Amino acid sequence: MAVSMIIGGATLGEAFAEVFAVLYDTVKKVKNKDCSFNPCIKNLEFTLDRLLPIVKDIKRSINQIDLPEKKTKSLIEEMKIGEKLIRKRSKIRWWNYCFNFCCPTELCELNEDIARFCKDDLEAYSTRNDETEISMNLNIITLEKEDSSNLDRPRAFCAVRRPPNFTVGFDMPMMELKTLLLKEEVKQLLLTAPAGCGKTTLVQMLCQDNQIKGMFTNNILFVNVSKTPNVKVIVQNLFSYKGIRPKYQIQSDDDAIYQLPQMLNHIGPNPILLILDDVWLGSEFLLEKLKFNIPNFKILVTSRTAFPRFKHTYNLKQLNDVDAMTLFCYSAFLQDESSYIPEEDIKKIVRGCGGCPLVLKMIGSSLCGQHAVVWHSRLLKWSDGSFSAEQRIPAATLTDMWAELYELDEDGIHTIATLQELTLRNLAKLVMTRKDASEVNSYYNEDFVTQHHILRELALHQSSQEPIGQRLRLIMNISGNNLPRWWMEQKQQLINARLLSISTDESFLWSWCNIQAPKVEVLILNFQTKNYTLPEFVEKANELKALIVNNYGFFHVEIKKFQLLWSLPNLKRIRLEKISIPSLCKTLVPLKSLRKISLFMCIIGTAFENCTIQGSYALPNLKEINIDYCNDLVELPIGLCDIVHLKKLCITNCHKLSILPKEAGKLVNLEVLRLRSCTDLLELPESIKSLHKLSILDISDCLSISKLPKHIGELRNLKVLNMKGCLRLCNQLPESTMDLKQLKIVVCDNERAKLWEPIKEFLTKLKVEVVKKDINLNWLLK
């Protein structure tokens, strides 16, 4: 029966042909515009080219073909969306291609849907009169019968495509992945890495390996899962690919999973390898559904997410410098040694790509054949972002930021949980420096985070989309005297950002001016100069809650106009790195809101001494002090002991600290006392018996401590004691130790564990945890 459905005055067949023509023209126009999604565009172009004769047949036989209404309408809408998506992607910048999580999945699915529609539905609904001609054209585009040697043709459903003609840096990963896959106990294997690192390419190479092909003869099944997997379609494709009919028509996802073992058993008994490519977070449910009790059945999964449920995981690393240079030069056609581009510029650009194969290909192709001026311009444009070494961001810094911006807990538990989730998604890398600290005591001050260059570049790009005055996060990188144009053009620039980060280099000479930031809550100042002055706008930043100052220069610097902070009514947190600290109590105006001070690699000097007022008055609500790697700290300042409201005191890696004064007993509200890696500390003062609220005492790696205080038993609220690495503590424990009735965990090594044996029978709640030697050297990177 001739089609009767009308769309906007056109028949369904005419509408299909018209939308197809628009999509076809768009693909032809943009196919050479950007290399980032060329493979997908080329596949789509190939499919459209092969289908063009069929569409012409439809137009000629429009009154004789009765198209399936629902499927045709759906495909028309899908082609419209695909056409808009292609035009949109042809305009956006390169970094969005690397980590755009919506594409090219849609284009791949569109490619397959068009081919499937024309092969199955047009063939079924063609009339007898035109059946011969249309079927001849349909047979031309039948994917299962394509010559696999033509690499430009679209991938057959569930078949593995051949790897790219040129690859570099994958030989060793391929060997390691193969070794792991072939182990008998490995039934499910996860291959994980950030986007663009070559996971699919590595799988393609693996499937070309003679040993793999010999083991899984004709039984390698490839499924692109993508963001929203359709289980029913996936299983239907698997049946179709192997030429097997299901027992009955597949009606639902559960029905598909129920019938899949039938097909897998049918193609046995040879080993079967099912590859699930590009599994997204949220789609891992599919992995559980596909766990079948079938002999010699293995599943290989690729994902950007390092799913913790996988027992066997292979992490694909970025390319090393040599391989990255090789791939970049190949992509930019720089094999000629007489290249007019300076070698140093090439190295800087390659370094900025962070070893990511996709980025190296894209940047190399975009610069191919360009004038040297273009290369130099690109280098200058990116120099503030990508080309610095991967910066280690202290987890404690993020805790200070996020606690104020997002009202997270002050202990950092939610911060670490968030960072661990980002690590699982390969969006960042959380490095735990010492397992005993983080797992037992929830102590994260020594841990840090790194982020890939390109992800950082993407974050900077996204934060710069709004006008200066409207951004919630404003990140400024100032080189020399080259202030931003917007700063120079206006006498007073109003900034409404909640987070403001200003970085200057060693040649920065300008005095601060022209900024008003009344809404800033977190201020980050990074500098390298030998002299530094707090920006004048700080004095009026009444909403400021967290100040983070990092000196990346070689020498310690005393900050000028530090007294501006005393006018801030809401300042809760101060974190200083490599700063010579002025007196924090030499003022008549108390910092009433200040709750936490963190000093990293600072010169403490007289920070808590020479006070004009008592510390408890100057800092009435200070609850936490962190002092880390401060080498001039020999004796804990007595002035610090006046801050009686203090709850946490952490002094770590201060190797010259040898004495805690008896005044430390005045800190009666102290709940946590950490003295990690203070290697010269000889003993704990007897006065700590007054710290009745103390629940955590950490003296791990205090190599010189030879005994515990005689009256340590009076710490009746003590729950955790970490004494790992106290090598000189060999004598019998004090008798009062038996009074520590609330003590639950003691962390120590084997030798110290023996000292607790006679005590354990009196402390029923006690668990002695013997830690193994930690060969992790991440702490050296601090």
Structure tokens at 196: 């663009």
Q: List, for residues 190-228, the tens digit of each pLDDT value.
A: 999 988 889 999 999 999 999 998 898 888 999 888 777
Place of tokens 């950092």: 412
Strands 648-652, 672-674: pairing kind? parallel
Give the CA-trace dihedral at 64, 109, 150, 140, to 10 degrees.
-10
pLDDT at position 520 is: 92
Sorted by where each begins, the domain ranges of the chain are 6-145, 171-315, 321-382, 393-454, 602-782
Instruction: Phi first, then psi: give them for residue 500, nearest 5 degrees.
Output: -125, 125
Instruction: Please tell me the pTM assigned to this model.
Output: 0.64
Cβ density class 257-266: b for 16+ within 10 Å, e for less: bebbeebbee
CB-CB contact of 630 with 606 (8 Å)? no
Place of tokens 């008798």: 735
Measured distance CA(674)–CA(738) in Å, rounded:
22
pLDDT at position 335 is: 59
Q: List, for residues 602-646, the tens digit of each pLDDT value.
A: 998 777 666 656 667 778 899 999 999 998 899 888 888 888 899
Q: Check: CATH 3.80.10.10 for 602-782?
A: yes
pLDDT at position 152 is: 35
Structure tokens at 298: 């293995």
Secondary structure class of 196 (helix, strand, coil): coil
CB-CB contact of 253 with 232 (8 Å)? yes
Secondary structure class of 489 (helix, strand, coil): helix
Q: How many CB atoms lie within 10 A of CB 752?
A: 20
Give the amino acid at 189. Answer: L
CB-CB contact of 532 with 509 (8 Å)? no
Cβ density class 152-187: b for 16+ within 10 Å, e for less: ebbbbbbbbbebeeebbbbeebbeebeeebeeeeee
pLDDT at position 60 is: 60
Secondary structure class of 402 (helix, strand, coil): helix
pLDDT at position 488 is: 67
Structure tokens at 296: 């010699």
pLDDT at position 147 is: 37
Q: How far apart are the first and last CA of the chain?
A: 77
For the domain bounded by 171-315, which CATH number is listed?
A: 3.40.50.300
Residue spans of the chain under pLDDT 70? 1-10, 31-40, 42, 57-67, 89-106, 108-109, 116, 118-157, 268, 335-340, 380-391, 409, 434-442, 452-463, 488-492, 510-514, 583-589, 608-615, 773-782
Q: For residue 396, what are the CA distances in angstroms to 575, 600, 692?
A: 9, 11, 27
pLDDT at position 425 is: 77
For residue 303, give the nearest of 193, 181, 223, 220 by alpha carbon: 193
Q: How far is CA 84 from the centre of its chain?
A: 30
Measured distance CA(331)–CA(361) in Å, rounded:
5
767 strand-pairing partners: 745
CB-CB contact of 395 with 449 (8 Å)? yes
Residue 388 CA neighbour count, 13 Å, CB half: 13
Give the amino acid at 549. Answer: V
